[in-house]
């Protein structure tokens, strides 16, 4: 359980639930931070019930990994006082309740700063801490919609689609983590803490490339385009003889010329031909994709991938979990690792990203039981006696 990661020595209190705030804490825990996850007594994070199989969550072991779980009732004054004791011994707080909730619990940033002037408060919400929507409830899906992602996601002949994962929450978590690390750097230089205000909709908006600028300057609105990137060709999913789907990305001039040579049409790359330029290929994108599909459909997937590799054309299968587990590159890089778990014995899950050469992060344990670290945190860290801990438990504080 001892961490040698780059954030070893940094203590984070996670007072959040579901995904956006907790995933930010997971990212820091993976890199060695001591994350103490605070949950309501008796109920805990709803993620403990999500992603179930045979009545037991398979999502919680992943999102809850590397965290010391404690129970604490933040709605009661005694619970708030205990929380402040933890704050005094910590560096970062991550919370993702609706804006104003911490203030309602007498845990405003001003009060937190009184007990620890260097504390960094990371606040993850749907709409941010200011503005007319600040007090609204906000989920990742709404942030994806307002941030511009949902409108352009999916096929053009149907309603906007979902990404298949909670991408809005994850993006907010990643931006919150960048903010926390930036604030830690500033604090190390000045001794000053600060508030990191990470909203879901702005975290999505930040990833929208030039969407807003294109509308502002050219009146151009990006639309749903399915598997293709409009006017960038060839770059699509193509069929194979054995009914597999291979994604080929050969949109650069030099790469497309290598693909055309493999297809037996080197003349398509010669000057003057419509497919010799980026603009020309984009203009005839649909027809070009048809021609490539006719060719790939005569070749088995494994052979096609070998051809692409030998010819220097980026290509790959569209993986599912089983493909990832069987892939030699995943194995060589330990992209997926098998880790001990107190419920399942062992579990396979994605490894820590990114990989650091000198101080790599690690998965030290999977999601712990509700309140599993109460005695360790309240006894060893805060110095509460067994009798006092028993009193607090009886009163519903921990």
Identify the domain containing residue 248 by its residue range.
235-319
Whether 198 and 243 share a structural domain: no
375 belongs to a structural domain: yes
Condensed to tens digits (0 to 9), the pLDDT of residues 348-388 reads 999 999 999 999 999 999 999 999 999 999 999 999 999 99
Q: What is the pLDDT of residue 3?
A: 59
Check which CATH number belongs to the domain holding 292 and give it. 3.30.1540.10
**Alpha-carbon 210 to chain mean position:** 22
Burial of 59 (C-beta count, 10 Å sphere; 0-12/13-18/19+)? middle
Which SS3 state, helix, strand or coil, does residue 372 take? coil
Q: Which of 259, 284, 319 is the last residue of a domain?
A: 319
Q: Is the pLDDT of residue 55 over 80?
A: no
Minimum mean pLDDT range among 34-38, 131-135, 227-231, 390-394: 227-231
Q: Which residues contact 33 (CB under 8 A, 6 or more apart)?
A: 3, 5, 7, 8, 10, 11, 12, 25, 92
Whether 116 and 24 share a structural domain: yes
Q: Which residues contact 184 (CB under 8 A, 6 or more apart)?
A: 10, 91, 92, 120
Residue 280: half-sphere exposure toward Cβ, Cα within 13 Å: 12
pLDDT band at 108 (very low <50, low <70, confident <90, very high): very high
Whether 247 and 284 share a structural domain: yes
End-to-end CA distance of the chain: 23
Alpha-carbon dihedral sign for residues 224, 229, 234, 239? negative
Q: What percent of the chain has pLDDT over 70?
A: 99
Condensed to tens digits (0 to 9), the pLDDT of residues 276-329 reads 999 999 999 999 999 999 999 999 999 999 999 999 999 999 999 999 999 999
Q: What is the pLDDT of residue 208?
A: 94
Whether 105 and 79 share a structural domain: yes
Whether 351 and 314 share a structural domain: no
Whether 271 and 346 share a structural domain: no
212 belongs to a structural domain: no
Nearest to 110 by CA among 136, 78, 87, 79: 87
Q: How far apart are CA 125 and CA 201, in angstroms?
A: 9
Catalytic residues: 169
Q: How many domains does the chain have?
A: 2
pLDDT band at 231 (very low <50, low <70, confident <90, very high): confident
Condensed to tens digits (0 to 9), the pLDDT of residues 264-280 reads 999 999 999 999 999 99
Strand duo 336-341 + 315-317: pairing: unpaired
169 belongs to a structural domain: yes
Whether 150 and 19 share a structural domain: yes
Tokens standing for residue 208: 């929208």
The partner residues of 93 in beta bridges, in order of sequence, read: 13, 121
Whether 46 and 169 share a structural domain: yes
pLDDT band at 137 (very low <50, low <70, confident <90, very high): confident
Q: Which of 319, 348, 376 is the last residue of a domain?
A: 319
For the chain, the residue count is 398
Computed over every residue of the chain, the mean pLDDT equals 93
Q: What is the pLDDT of residue 87?
A: 98
Q: What is the pLDDT of residue 2?
A: 53
Q: What is the pLDDT of residue 112?
A: 97
């Amino acid at each position: 359980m001892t961490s040698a990661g780059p954030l070893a020595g940094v203590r984070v209190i996670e007072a959040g639930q579901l995904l956006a705030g907790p995933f930010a804490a997971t990212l820091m825990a993976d890199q060695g931070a001591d994350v103490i996850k605070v949950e309501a007594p008796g109920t805990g994070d709803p993620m403990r019930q999500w992603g179930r199989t045979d009545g037991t969550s398979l999502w919680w072991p992943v999102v809850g990994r590397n965290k010391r779980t404690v129970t604490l009732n933040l709605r009661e004054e005694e619970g708030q006082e205990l929380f402040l004791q933890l704050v005094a011994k910590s560096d970062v707080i991550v919370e993702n309740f609706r804006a104003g909730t911490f203030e309602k619990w007498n845990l405003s940033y001003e009060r937190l700063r009184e007990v620890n002037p260097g504390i960094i408060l990371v606040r993850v919400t749907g709409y941010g801490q200011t503005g007319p929507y600040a007090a609204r409830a906000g989920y990742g899906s709404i942030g994806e919609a307002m941030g511009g992602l949902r409108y352009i996601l999916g096929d053009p002949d149907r309603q906007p689609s979902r990404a298949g994962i909670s991408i809005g929450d994850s993006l907010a978590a990643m931006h919150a983590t960048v903010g926390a690390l930036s604030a830690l750097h500033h604090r190390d230089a000045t001794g000053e803490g600060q508030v990191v205000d990470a909203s879901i909709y702005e975290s999505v908006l930040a990833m929208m490339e030039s969407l807003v600028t294109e509308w502002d300057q050219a009146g151009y609105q990006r639309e749903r385009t399915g598997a293709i990137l409009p006017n960038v060709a060839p770059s699509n999913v193509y069929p194979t003889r054995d009914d597999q789907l291979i994604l080929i990305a050969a949109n650069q001039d030099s790469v497309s010329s290598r693909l055309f040579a493999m297809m037996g049409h080197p003349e398509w790359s010669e000057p003057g031909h419509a497919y010799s330029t980026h603009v020309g290929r984009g203009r005839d994108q649909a027809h070009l994709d048809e021609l490539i599909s006719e060719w790939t459909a005569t070749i088995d997937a494994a052979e096609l991938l070998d051809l692409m590799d030998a010819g220097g054309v980026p290509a790959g299968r569209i993986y599912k979990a089983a493909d990832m587990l069987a892939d030699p590159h995943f194995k060589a890089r330990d992209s997926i690792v098998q880790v001990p778990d107190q419920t399942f014995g062992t579990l396979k899950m994605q490894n820590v990203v990114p990989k650091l050469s000198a101080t790599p992060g690690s998965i030290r344990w999977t999601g712990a039981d509700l309140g599993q670290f109460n005695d360790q945190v309240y006894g060893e860290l805060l110095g509460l006696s067994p009798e006092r801990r028993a009193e607090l438990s009886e009163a519903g504080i921990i």
